[in-house]
């Protein structure tokens, strides 16, 4: 089992995800969004499963800085913006094969490990 985790080191939920998988000796590939943004194609996988609203962290500092509170935009606009501004993402984004989660989803990760 290989797991890919998108997030930032400052995010408590991302650190929790990294710790969860490392405690179980599961190999993870961490993508620090402050260093490298997720590709639009990668983000599209999450959008197809959860919808664009699940990806956007409307409580983030960056969301407020950009003044997006009243933005009514298309999904394509949001995908481009999220690729350019990864700090707008709700993290962590966790992927194992075709299985995906957003945020702290420890119960789901436990199901993945049990398989």
Q: Are 81 and 60 a contacting pair, CB within 8 Å?
A: no
- The pTM of this model reads 0.90
Instruction: Report pLDDT for 22.
Output: 96
Cα-Cα end-to-end distance for the chain: 10
What local confidence, expressed as pLDDT, does residue 11 receive? 94
8-state DSSP, 103? S
Is the CB of residue 84 less than 8 Å from the CB of residue 52? no
* DSSP 8-state code for residue 105: -
pLDDT at 20 over 80: yes
Q: Which domains does the chain have, with CATH numbers?
A: 2-114 (3.40.30.10)
Alpha-carbon gap, residue 23 to 10, rounded angstroms: 19
pLDDT given for residue 110 in this prediction: 96
Model confidence at 40: pLDDT above 90? no
How high does pLDDT run on average in the chain?
92
Q: Do residues 63 and 88 lie in contact, with contact meaning Cβ atoms separated by under 8 Å? A: yes
Model pLDDT, residue 115: 78
For residue 7 the two structure tokens come to: 């997030």
Structure tokens at 12: 């408590």
Q: pLDDT digit string (tens) for 44-53?
A: 999 999 999 9
């Amino acid at each position: 089992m290989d797991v890919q985790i998108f997030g930032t080191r400052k995010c408590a939920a991302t650190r929790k995800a990294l710790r969860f998988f490392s405690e179980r000796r599961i190999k993870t590939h961490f993508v620090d969004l402050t260093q490298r943004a997720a590709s639009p194609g990668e983000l599209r996988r999450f959008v197809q499963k959860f919808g664009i609203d699940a990806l956007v962290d409307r409580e983030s500092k960056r969301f407020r800085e950009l003044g997006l509170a009243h933005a009514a935009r298309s999904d394509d606009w949001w995908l481009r913006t999220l690729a350019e501004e990864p700090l707008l993402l709700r993290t962590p984004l966790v992927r194992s094969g075709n299985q995906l989660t957003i945020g702290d989803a420890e119960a789901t990760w436990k199901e993945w490990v049990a398989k």
